[in-house]
Chains A and B, each alone.
Chain A
Amino acid sequence: MSQSVVSVSNLRKSFGAAVAVDDVSFEIPKGQVLGLLGPNGAGKSTTIQILLGLITPTSGKVQLFGLDPWHDRVSVLQRANFSSAYVSLPHNLKVAENLEIFARLYGVKERKQKIESLLTLFEIEHLAKKMTGGLSSGESTRVNLCKAMLNDPDLLLLDEPTASLDPDIADKVRRLLLTYQKERGITIVYTSHNMKDVHELCERVIFLSEGKIIADGSPDVILDQFDEASLEEVFIAIARDKVKMRSSGEQEGGADDVAL
């Protein structure tokens, strides 16, 4: 329990009559890469937003590093970071300026060296003096990832980081993430609709549907349990409602409780 970087128990979030997250519980140990998957409206964005402190839950408990993300917000966020394909850095600032500012906000010491080393790691040192608004999607994604790693986070939340990238760049980004994760042993929560990404990167996957966990295990175990050849087929099966849950009480058992 004390080793868990993320601990979520009986999490529930409703917006009026609509229930976005329904009695979800999971723990993520240190160093694990977890894929949080599900069709649109499954509750994964809400779950991530709760972890980031953007939404307060209706009930249930969330702890990051053993701390309350609302009460100890600054301490928690100092050790975490976030990147999304749908979030940008200010377009009219140079790449190095944007990174400099976020390095200040995260209290990074020796900011210049840190920024240079990250730009080198992501093979984009030539972009330092370019305007952020003039970058391609692939370049922009890598700059966002640099920003996400400025504070050497212990927990990284990545929301579809390879969305809109061509296969070559997506592959590069995946490899860089894997290398970085292995070197530093950080915990990653990863959401994506690219099941190839998930299979390659994530050692554990949680499938959400209608706010509930309907599968929880390693990608290979989930393939066996769903009797499908790929995670994409599992995803489609879930999205098309071929998978029925028996009862909410069974979800704690994870994938074993899924009935097709």
Chain B
Amino acid sequence: MLRFDRIMGLFQRYVFIYMRGSFRILDVAFWPVMDLLVWGFVSVYFIGLNGSGKPGAVTFLIGAIILFNILYRSQQAVTISLLEDLWSRNLLNIFVAPITVAEFICATYMVGLAQVIFVGLSTSILAAFLYHFNVLSMGFLLVPLFLNLIVMGWSLGMLSSALILRYGHQAEALCWALPYLVQPFSAVFYPISVLPSWLQPVAKLSPASYVFEGMRSILQGNSHVENDLLWATGLNIAYWIFFSVFYTRMLQAARQGGSLARLVS
């Protein structure tokens, strides 16, 4: 059974860590803002060079950058929270405390939510100021889009965390690499139809591809994206269950093989 006080205890710890480390806060805010500045201005420039460029392209790109950062921060929060304990040699204290794996993961989900709110707000305000992009123009459909990306980030976070627990420090790079491994097949900056036909079925396995296709439809004025949202939600539920089981299995294997003890000691 999940105990809220223990989840809050873990969450409070992450809040303290982020509040105390100005570089941590900078890390959370820096990359999304840089993405927005660089790719936003690059697309404004190309549209200026090529008279036939559609102004809608900037809107798609800005929307994609903001939404991809929701997925990215959600995944990062789950894995970086584990790594924070690993780096500070505190993970053993956590693993021998009376908390369940589910409580530990829930706390990292909460960190993800907090980061997503922070990044979502800051990049949306910046996009409105620099590019006159109003994220709220997507209306209430923004909520299911965001939620699907958050849940997909949680699943990817559990995958990278599970591999770190099982394979140790050598798997740490996955924390940063994993979202970019799925990005080309998730229709983030271009529609699925751009991909070669043999890659399109792969893209259809990514919940994010439905979210980004849906986002582009909404920005084009088509609010009938129920089908995209249903696919994204269905796939997300399936992946979340799969990666929850995967995390538990990897932890079991880490306990049996001794890699957990080596990692935390």
Q: State the A residues within 8 Å of B (CB).
A: 15, 20, 45-46, 49, 52-56, 73-75, 77-78, 80-82, 84, 86-93, 97, 100-102, 104-107, 147
Contact = CB atoms under 8 A, between A and B. Distances in A.
B13 A90 contact: yes
B95 interface: yes
B258 A74 contact: no
Nearest to A104: B9
Nearest to B95: A54
Given A104-B12, A105-B10, A74 B93 contact: no
Nearest to B101: A73
B126 interface: no
B144 interface: no
A77 B98 CA distance: 5
Given A86-B89, A88-B89, A105-B9, A74 B100 contact: yes
Contacts of A15: 257-258
B92 A84 contact: yes
Given A15-B258, A54-B260, A104-B8, A77 B13 contact: no
A104 B5 contact: yes
Given A73-B100, A102-B9, A107-B5, 11 more contacts: A52-B95, A53-B96, A53-B255, A56-B252, A74-B98, A86-B89, A89-B88, A90-B16, A90-B90, A104-B6, A105-B98
**Lowest 4 A-B CB distances belong to which pairs?**
A104-B9, A77-B98, A78-B98, A92-B20
A82 B5 contact: no
Given A90-B17, A105-B10, A147-B93, A55 B261 contact: yes
Contacts of B197: none
B258 A55 contact: yes
B202 to A, nearest CB: 37
B84 interface: yes
Contacts of B88: 88-92
Interface string B1-43: 0010110111011001100110000000000000000000000
A89 B261 contact: no
B264 interface: yes
Interface in B99-150: 99-100
B170 interface: no
Contact of B89 (A20, A55, A75, A87): A87
Contacts of A90: 13, 16-17, 84-85, 88, 90
B55 to A, nearest CB: 46
10 contacts: A49-B258, A73-B100, A80-B96, A88-B88, A89-B93, A92-B17, A93-B16, A93-B17, A93-B20, A106-B97
Max chain A C-beta neighbours (<10 A), residue from B3, B93, B260: B93
B97 A105 contact: yes
B193 interface: no
Residue among A84, A92, A107 having the largest count of chain B Cβ atoms under 10 Å? A92
A73 B248 CA distance: 15
A82 B17 contact: no
B265 interface: yes
Contacts of B255: 53-56
Contacts of A54: 92, 95-96, 255, 260-261, 264
B194 to A, nearest CB: 45
B50 interface: no
B256 interface: yes
A219 B90 CA distance: 33
Nearest to A15: B258
Nearest to A18: B258
A102 B257 CA distance: 28
Contacts of A78: 98
B97 A97 contact: no
A53 B3 CA distance: 20
Contacts of A92: 16-17, 20-21, 88
Given A49-B265, A92-B17, A93-B17, A87 B98 contact: no
A24 to B, nearest CB: 16
A171 to B, nearest CB: 26
Nearest to A93: B16
B260 A93 contact: no
Contacts of A102: 9, 93, 97
Contacts of A101: 9-10, 12-13, 16
A52 B12 contact: no
Nearest to A131: B20
Contacts of B85: 90
A74 B261 contact: no
